[in-house]
Amino acid sequence: MVKILLLQLWYKLSDPQIERKIRDRISKTGKGRSVFNEIRDQIMAKRIRIRKGTMQDASFIEADNGDYWKPKGNKSKTRRSISATRHIPVNEIKIIEKLAVTSASVHNSQIDLPIPGIVCYRHKRYFCSPCRGIDATMDRSAKGHKLPVQSVRRNLCISRIRSMVEHPYAFCKRMFQFSHVMITTVQRVRVKTYFTAMCYNLMRARFLDRIG
């Protein structure tokens, strides 16, 4: 932090500019993922896992174009923002295991984050997509056909388990206002997502210490 403040004074950078430079440096070096993994491993090392399983889901993030992108002419009336998608698998104690951030044009089924050998409960939008772990994806009916009763009951059971994956999304949206970010490019959004997930995991670990 001291080094950052000194660099800010030396190069006469404003707060948004220094934040932009930091995110650019982290996105180029790829340190965001390694720091996130280290904190996650330290949290999980102190936890006793009763049952193994993960839940995977995805959510849209709206990223602002920022003041650096100034449209001219007719485009100024139709200023658009950049959309990204975060993909998160969560374990049974609601700790984020992994994450991926892609552009909104990438379909959810193309992102495979489950841990090999561990059951992964996924929404029916992942139906027929590859899964590294033990596939527990909800069944999806074909066009013009209804699901059999067994599949409906199976989906209900999976849905109850999958409900835990909504907790990180709701928490980050309410506490960190993470549905919209004032940064540009998917790379910068990815860095911000890593640090937001780290903050969530640390707060979740603190809560588990209180109740456990």
3-state per-residue secondary structure call for 118-156: CEEEECHHHCCCCCCCEEEECCCCCCCCCCCHHHHHHHH
Classify residue 140: in a domain, yes or no. yes
Q: Could you give the number of structural domains in the chain? A: 1
Can you tell me whether residue 88 is helix, strand or coil?
A: strand
Classify residue 126: in a domain, yes or no. yes
Domain residue limits at 207: 38-70+79-211
Q: State the pTM of this model.
A: 0.74
Classify residue 100: in a domain, yes or no. yes
Classify residue 196: in a domain, yes or no. yes
Q: How many other β-carbons are positioned within 10 Å of the β-carbon of residue 132? A: 13
Classify residue 203: in a domain, yes or no. yes
Q: Which residue positions in the chain have pLDDT lower than 50? A: 50, 68-69, 72-81
Q: Hey, which bits of the chain come out as E strands?
A: 54-63, 82-91, 100-103, 119-122, 134-137, 180-181
Residue-wise pLDDT for 53-110, tens only, equals 787 888 877 776 655 445 544 444 444 445 677 788 888 788 888 888 888 888 888 8
Please say whether the dihedral angle defined by the alpha carbons of residues 148, 153, 157 and 163, taken in this order, is positive or negative. Answer: positive
Classify residue 97: in a domain, yes or no. yes
Classify residue 32: in a domain, yes or no. no
What are phi and psi for residue 126, nearest 5 degrees? -90, 5
Classify residue 26: in a domain, yes or no. no
